[in-house]
Chain A
Amino acid sequence: MDAGRLLDAVSRDKTQVLPEEAERVATVGAWRVVVLNDPVNLMSYVVLVFRRVLGFDEATARRKMLEVHEQGRSVVWTGLREKAEAYAFTLQEWHLSAVVEADEAH
């Protein structure tokens, strides 16, 4: 099951959101998907996952992987919360340690 369907399934029965509230949620800040380093997953595996899940080209995927490896974390995507959650879920399906954080800069 992909993350989009998971999130759809979860939100289906929720209380109806008022239009003004939906607009506020859609515009309030940005959210970051951050991948954290782990000592287990191979570098080549992480590069493949970044290319497969996030659509990075080889060079970008390698650069982001090295950020994770050397700095312990890398921001791999920024945007609306729902999509950030979907990306984090998919990265976790690939067994990368991915978290969603509020982007304080926005």
Chain B
Amino acid sequence: MKRIEVKLAVPVVAPLLDVIRALGEAPPVPPPGVNVPPDADPDLRGAWIGELAAAESTEVRALLALFDEAFFREGVVAFDAENAEVILRACSVLRLRLRESYLRAWGDDALESGDVEAGPFEPGGHKAMACFLFLATVQELILQHLGDNILTN
């Protein structure tokens, strides 16, 4: 099984994990981007939102599980065909949550282009932006090295 190991600077990453944990522990609200079809009956609406919220929770837990005691000793996280998909999705939803909670002031163009050298940060925004960029880097690594595995799963 293809596997990539990434060495990270623990003192840099640890504060970002606090941001991720806080997002993961926030009161449940419909995940970003949820659009229930028009005229959906209450059962479908409830199941639709409930399933997506449960999936989000599973994804965030899977991401946080990477940063266990071994990570804090050695600074290494590993991605493989088994966890690539769930981690990729976790990064996506967390980046959406970060935008909702901390990064609105940046504007969509800045977030989309990645041109975030300067700008008005909301409280907690510096850490949130670092987290936003860190999660994008994780996604890029997975897409580059394990994208084919995800397509063939």
Contact = CB atoms under 8 A, between A and B. Distances in A.
Q: Is the interface of B mostly helix, strand, loop or mixed?
A: helix
A95 B35 contact: no
Contact count band on A: 20 to 34
Contacts of A96: 33
A42 B136 contact: yes
B43 A10 contact: yes
B89 A97 contact: no
A19 B48 CA distance: 27
Interface in B19-33: 31-33
B139 A10 contact: no
Interface of A: 1, 6-7, 9-10, 38-42, 44-45, 48, 51-52, 81, 84-85, 88-89, 92-102
Interface of B: 31-35, 37-38, 41, 43-44, 47-48, 51-52, 55, 88-89, 92-93, 95-96, 99, 108-109, 111-112, 136, 139-140, 143, 147, 150-151
